[in-house]
Every structure is written in C-alpha cells, then in structure tokens.
Amino acid sequence: MMNDTEPSVKEKYLQNGERIDDLQRNGLYIIQDPGEFCFGMDAVLLSGFAAAHAPASCNRILDLCTGGGIIPLLLAAKTKARHITGIEIQQKAAGRADRSVRMNGLSDKIDIINGDIKEAPELMKAASFDMVTVNPPYFRTGHGIINPTDSKTVSRHEVACTLDDVLSAAEYALKNGGVFCMVHKPQRLADVICGMRDHHIEPKALKTVHPRIGDDPSMILIEGRKGAGEEIRIEAPLVIYNDKDEYTEEMYTIYGY
C-alpha cells in the first residue's frame, strides 16, 4: 500500500524551489527551501540530547522556534511523547513544517502553530507541557545585520525574540518539574544559566560539543527543570569527528545510521 512518504506521493506537498530531504530515521522526510534557513547539526544534536533527558512520563512536548519542524519530527521518532507542538513566527517556515508533518502522516501526533512565542499565554495553557525544547537564535542584534526581515537573519539573530523571550515562554509552558532542553553557543553560557535561573528553570545538566578532540567547544547542550533544586551535572563531552575526519560512534548513534 502506498503512503505519503513514498516518492510518487510526497512530492505533492512541495512548492516552488523546495526539496525533500530524507532524515534517515523511521522513514521520515522533511521539506526544505535551500533559499531560506535549513536545519543544521545543532538541531539533530538537540533532538538526541532531549530524547536522552525526556522524563519517562513525557506525554507533551513543546518546541519553540521550530523553524521547518525538524525537532518535532525527530522527537516523534526518538521519544514516546503522545503529542508534540511546534511554534514558529515565520509564516513560510511554519507552512513548510505543517506540510512536512502531513507528508509524514503525523498530523495526529504533531501540530504546528504559526505564532509569536512572546504571546505564549494566547497560544497555549500555562503549565501544560512535560518538556520544552528550543534551538533559538544565537546572536544578539546590532552586529552586521543587513535585512532584519530575512528568514536566515530571523533564525540566527535575536530579531523576533531574545533569549529572555525564549525562557519566559518555556517557564510559562512547563509543568512544575518539567524538563527544558536547549542548544546554544558557548559564548552565551553565562547568559543562558543566569536567564534560566531568573525564570525558575534550574540548570541540571550541561554537555559541550567539540568538532574534534582538543578543540574548543562549538556548541553547548543544556537541560534544566522548572522548580528544581540547585545542582548541575557536567556530562562527558560530545566529539563530532575522529582522527580520520569521520563521525564518532556517538554521532552515528544520534543520527541513526
């Protein structure tokens, strides 16, 4: 029987200039536009980190700044969550995410909201999620931004939302004891930890990501819990490439190869 992920069927979900990429996980595919922001390794690493830290009773997950929906799709494959919601402010990106969900036959498990996370109280009920994930814009505004409405700029720079906006939305959405997982840049670690505590999300685990052994970290993965006590665990670092410039075994596991 043909399903919506087979080539002859799934192409009906494409619009001009878009492509379909194979996620190499549970037969899932995603729609992307090469001319706009496409997901990167950071989103894949966040999905693996979040899956590893998901509570046993994790029923509902919220993904902030969901972009094209990569994290909800991967978490649908990697966790036992009953429902996953993604919120994205950019209409075109949210539209692609929604079409990817429908293309994969996951409309009963994932919904995409085209909305502003700063308006979280208008989009969802308070304390209604067991986990919140986010791959937020990394860079503060004011440093060489040419077009503040460009999709790549909005995805990378704090134009549409700041780190504080992200943490405020997470605090609102999470149940007490709920888990928060984020990927960010090492240069913003102090901002991340201080901001999490300001929003009653206590940092509980930190993992650094290094291109190769001996390199400085290029990313951080951090987990927090709403209303938890003080104590953080520093996890073993994740190294992306071995001395042969091949993915390490941990990377192959995360990618599902």
Query: Which CATH code fits 40-255?
Result: 3.40.50.150
Reported confidence tier of residue 2, pLDDT bands at 50, 70, 90:
very low
Percentage with pLDDT > 90 across the chain: 79
Enumerate the domain spans of the chain: 40-255
Report how far residue 133's alpha carbon sits from residue 203's, in angstroms, rounded to the nearest whole number: 14
Q: What is the pLDDT of residue 87?
A: 98
Q: What is the pLDDT of residue 255?
A: 85
Residue 173 has pLDDT above 60, yes or no: yes
pTM assigned to the model: 0.91
Q: Which has more confidence, 179 or 56?
A: 179
175: left (phi over 0), alpha (psi -120 to 50) or beta: beta
Q: What is the pLDDT of residue 155?
A: 57
Residue 35 has pLDDT above 90, yes or no: no
Per-residue pLDDT tens digits for 67-105: 999 999 999 999 999 999 999 999 999 999 999 999 999
Q: What is the pLDDT of residue 152?
A: 58
Report how far residue 111's alpha carbon sits from residue 126's, in angstroms, rounded to the nearest whole number: 18
Report how far residue 112's alpha carbon sits from residue 123's, in angstroms, rounded to the nearest whole number: 11
- Reference 84, options 102, 107, 68, 57; nearest CA is 107
Q: Hey, how many other C-beta atoms are within 10 angstroms of the C-beta on 217?
A: 17
Indicate the range of 8-17, 45-54, 133-142, 143-152 predicted with least confidence.
143-152
Q: Which has more confidence, 193 or 16?
A: 193
Residue 160 has pLDDT above 80, yes or no: no
Report how far residue 74's alpha carbon sits from residue 244's, in angstroms, rounded to the nearest whole number: 28
Indicate the range of 38-42, 45-49, 109-113, 151-155 predicted with least confidence.
151-155
Q: What is the pLDDT of residue 159?
A: 72
Strands 129-134 and 60-64: parallel
Report how far residue 92's alpha carbon sits from residue 94's, in angstroms, rounded to the nearest whole number: 5
- Reference 225, options 203, 253, 243; nearest CA is 203
Reported confidence tier of residue 1, pLDDT bands at 50, 70, 90:
very low
